[in-house]
Amino acid sequence: MQVPSPNSRPSFRRLISAGVFLLAACPVFLRAQPAPAKPAVEFSCLVWEPLPLPAVFYRDGKSHLPLELSPGSRSQLYPLKEGTDLELSVKEVGADGAATYKLVGKAPLVAGTRRMLFIIDPAPEPADLPLAIFGVDDGLDVFPPGTFRFANFTAAPLQVKFGGQTTKLPARAISVVKSNVPENGGFLPFLIGDANGKTVFETRLFGQPTGRDMVFIAPPAKPGGRLSVKLLPQLIPPAPPKPAATP
């Protein structure tokens, strides 16, 4: 959406030539009101389990702002007006009573996007920081309603059979597949195959035209076990109808 530019006020010479001297005496009516600044990026976060840390903050410029995280679901959208990374920290109070913030996790933003999703997990040891953060472009242009997004967090290539098509999913790769569900939604078969196409996981997923669901595929919890598959659903409200054209 375009906002008025401060330089878009009407020409003063044109007003004079039209004889509008009263407005010339009240220049406040000639200026477009500045629009509120938009955040550079909006982001949400996902944790599957409560983090083994106290309250977590994110840095926006010189400010440290609190994050509210609910295991198994997206957080609310937070604005990030400054910076090219998401930096998470915990608050510490020194012996003198002064508060400081200790960095516990960091991940870069995807260049050019205005919406991000960050998946946050405890980092495996040894690690420089206690939190491992993985960020993906969460914009509606790359992950629109009516699609499923499959993320392969394993070290092996897989094949995803869904929506009437088979999609090759390289190791640590992400693919978006259109669900092609009817207007009222419905269950669709979902199969995961290995690199040779042998089925190693099978279930059904419920899709909706207004939904966009992310499916996380991770290695088995134990050697020889089944793949770990987790679903992160989201419903996107339909856009409001455009006003009827004035005759």
How far is Cα 52 from Cα 93, in angstroms, rounded to an integer?
Answer: 19
Q: Is residue 3 part of a domain?
A: no
Write down which residue in 139, 173, 203 finishes a domain. Answer: 139
Specify the number of domains making up the chain: 2
Residue 208's closest CA among 189, 190, 182? 182
Q: Is residue 28 part of a domain?
A: no
Query: How far does CA 184 lie from the centroid of its chain?
Result: 26
* Residue 88: C-alpha distances to residues 45, 94, 100, 106, 223 (Å): 11, 19, 13, 6, 33
Supply the pLDDT for residue 127.
86
pTM score: 0.79
Supply the pLDDT for residue 35.
54
pLDDT digits (tens, 9 = 90+) for 11-68: 333 322 333 333 233 344 334 455 555 568 999 999 999 999 989 999 999 999 999 9
Write down which residue in 139, 159, 191 finishes a domain. Answer: 139
Percentage of the chain beyond pLDDT 90 is 66
Query: How far does CA 102 lie from the centroid of its chain?
Result: 25
Q: What is the mean pLDDT of residues 198-226?
A: 93
Supply the pLDDT for residue 198.
93
Query: What CATH number has the domain bearing residue 112?
Result: 2.60.40
> Position of tokens 């669900």?
179
225 vs 173: which has the higher pLDDT = 173
Supply the pLDDT for residue 204.
95
Q: Is residue 185 part of a domain?
A: yes
pLDDT digits (tens, 9 = 90+) for 75-123: 999 999 988 899 999 999 887 878 899 999 999 999 999 999 999 999 9
Beta 41-46 vs 78-80: how paired, if at all? antiparallel
With contact defined as beta carbons under 8 Å apart, do 131 and 165 qualify?
Answer: no
Supply the pLDDT for residue 21.
32
Residue 82's closest CA among 59, 65, 102? 59
Whether the bond between 144 and the residue before it is cis, its omega within 30 degrees of 0, is no
Q: What is the mean pLDDT of residues 232-238?
A: 91
Structure tokens of 142? 């790359």
Supply the pLDDT for residue 38.
57
Beta 85-93 vs 78-80: how paired, if at all? unpaired
The DSSP letter of residue 211 is B
Report the largest interatomic distance among the alpha carbons of the chain, rounded to a whole angstrom: 85
Residues 196, 219, single domain; the answer is yes
Chain-wide mean pLDDT for the chain?
84
Give the domain extent around 50. 36-139
Residues 187, 123, single domain; the answer is no
32 vs 166: which has the higher pLDDT = 166
Q: What is the mean pLDDT of residues 130-147?
A: 95
Structure tokens of 177? 């597949």
